[in-house]
Structure 1
């Protein structure tokens, strides 16, 4: 009888221990899961166009980050678990890194100071290989303080547009007004854009989604149209075309066999096109690869065979297509 009682007591202790372990694991996991949440404050700028001597700026957005990233998954090899991962079988490396990243503190949060970013598009009148920010300097000013002129930008191929951001650190979170200061390379003042942000806050779980660096990137809008273009799906394309032009849009021009080819492209800013101002033209370049000499696509010669022009404007809510040109075959 006593033996049965002891067995029952041991069973209860085991169940209690398992319950405590599982509960502790759940609490710890919930804590680390919540460490991957960030709040991003954003302000979409209206009428942020700035005309300079040989460039045009479109200031699109201001963001406020009250967090600083400590680590990111698969970025950098100075974290202890990267060294451990190198010793694991290949199939275990990714799951192990993801697990370690989950149980980490990826951000430092601050309630009083923030990183402020003013973001936009800079366009140049010519395709110059000169770094555009060698010509102009930009920085954020507010509370009688210069918050620095850290500038980052993205530029692709033959584009004459640059996606940029100007970053200021140590900004008070209660800032009401700020200015984007633009000087030329000699230090002379070119323009000042005054801003009074009306913040909207969005919460991200960075295990699932990260804030876009440039949510106004016209290239992303163009990429979304490629599948309907390739399928000749005019109904799906309707939503990408400016509503008032849908009835007279040259839908027949989207139907051709070149969509079966590889294609790349580049942007060109146009000040005016068919009565619309500030038009961005995307030239779709269709090409074919010569696979006779090698199966390695990276080494296969590429020949441009045709191109087609797509014209877009920013309505303030989204990029919309206003026209598409005919296909032009290229001589080669």
Structure 2
């Protein structure tokens, strides 16, 4: 056999092996999420709870071991040219197993159930006295009384007056079937008053499939803060027309003139910061409104050193954040 044929066979073997390995890891990123959007509001003793949605995952997130992370970021990545580091991180992310899909036991399939919500405490803290435990929890209960979400967690940014929370847990398809017509109960526990509030639902699931190039949303991606970052990014790119698709359908007279200054922002018109995201309850006849403040510099030489601010207001509409108003720009004084 000639050297050329031997070389060709070696190359074929290498590329075949690489293709098989790549296909294996690509399949490790194939996951499915079933979601039922809610937006249900519950008044409790010391605040308001908004149940955003419940989800069923055919996977459980898992994280890379610390040894591998330390080696990659401390030993390997510093040796990679800066221009290639982003690509190197994507390669590492691809050749990994970020999800555990082995959720069943014996011959019974398993899934993960999650409930996501927002807690707006009256005192601004939302914690039990002398404890770091959240003063509210929510769980998904079957008609037979089986709790499908046993663990819980929460997240709060210091620049907000609300807390994002979730509960989750593994269940088996002989406990709740994805094709059944059984009702589910969202049980909201007020730990301060020791009262329970129940929401009975008959979920109609929306199914979305994900892969490495279209990854599942982050755990708290339903946050209004995430929506504001997306809106601000659109405005920062001076794509004001794209904002039209984010307007609440019940807003008939949107103040487009309050966004005109972004269309001719030029050299000095950049957004300098996004301020606190706040829950403000009702506004313009809408309930459960969130707002954020953005600041930006002047758009011409005459007011290039002037700082302006304006507020954006959003509400949840069919599981999506929609803009209901943008305040007129006003000058502001920021601390030096």
Coarse TM-score class (shorter-chain normalised): 0.7 to 0.9
Q: How many angstroms apart in 1 are the aligned matches of 2:319 and 2:80?
A: 44
Q: Return the match for 1:92 from 58, 80, 98.
A: 80
After superposition, residues 224-303 of structure 1 pair within 5 angstroms as 224-227=230-233, 229-230=235-236, 234-246=240-252, 248-256=253-261, 260=270, 262-285=272-295
Q: How many angstroms apart in 2 are the aligned matches of 1:20 and 1:315?
A: 54
For 2:66, what is the secondary structure of its paired residue?
Answer: coil
Partner of 2:37: 44
Deviations 1:174-213 (A, max 9, x none): 2643322222325722301223332232221136523332
Q: How many angstroms apart in 2 are the aligned matches of 1:122 and 1:200?
A: 25
Q: Return the match for 1:26 from 15, 19, 24.
A: 19
Partner of 1:218: 224
**Native 8 Å contact 2:140 2:187 kept in 1:** yes
**Native 8 Å contact 2:115 2:138 kept in 1:** no
Which has the higher mean CA deviation after the structures are superposed, 121-130 or 158-167? 121-130
Q: Does 1:313 align with 2:287?
A: no
Deviations 1:103-130 (A, max 9, x none): 4444332351222110122223453374
Is there any run of 5+ residues in structure 1 with no aligned partner, and where?
1-6, 289-303
Which has the higher mean CA deviation after the structures are superposed, 22-31 or 126-135? 126-135
Q: Does 1:190 align with 2:196?
A: yes
Q: How many angstroms apart in 1 are the aligned matches of 2:221 and 2:201?
A: 19
Deviations 1:197-255 (A, max 9, x none): 32232221136523332443322332233255457765333222234535x33333334
**Native 8 Å contact 1:82 1:97 kept in 2:** no
Q: How many angstroms apart in 2 are the aligned matches of 1:71 and 1:315?
A: 33
Partner of 2:136: 136
Q: Does 1:157 align with 2:145?
A: no
For 1:134, what is the secondary structure of its paired residue?
Answer: coil
Q: How many residue pairs get matched?
A: 304
Would the alpha carbon gap of residues 98 and 185 (structure 1) be closer, same or farther in structure 2, given more than 3 Å must change? same
Q: Return the match for 1:55 from 47, 68, 76.
A: 47
For 1:252, what is the secondary structure of its paired residue?
Answer: helix
Is there any run of 5+ residues in structure 2 with no aligned partner, and where?
299-305
For 1:24, what is the secondary structure of its paired residue?
Answer: helix
Q: How many angstroms apart in 2 are the aligned matches of 1:146 and 1:58?
A: 20
Q: How many angstroms apart in 2 are the aligned matches of 1:278 and 1:311?
A: 10
Deviations 1:29-71 (A, max 9, x none): 22232122112222222x5221223322221211112223343
Q: How many angstroms apart in 1 are the aligned matches of 2:90 and 2:53?
A: 32
Deviations 1:269-322 (A, max 9, x none): 23322222222222335699xxxxxxxxxxxxxxx9654222222221532222
RMSD, matched Cα: 3.6
**Native 8 Å contact 2:190 2:196 kept in 1:** yes
**Larger Rg: 1 or 2?**
1
Q: How many angstroms apart in 2 are the aligned matches of 1:65 and 1:330?
A: 46
**Native 8 Å contact 1:178 1:194 kept in 2:** yes
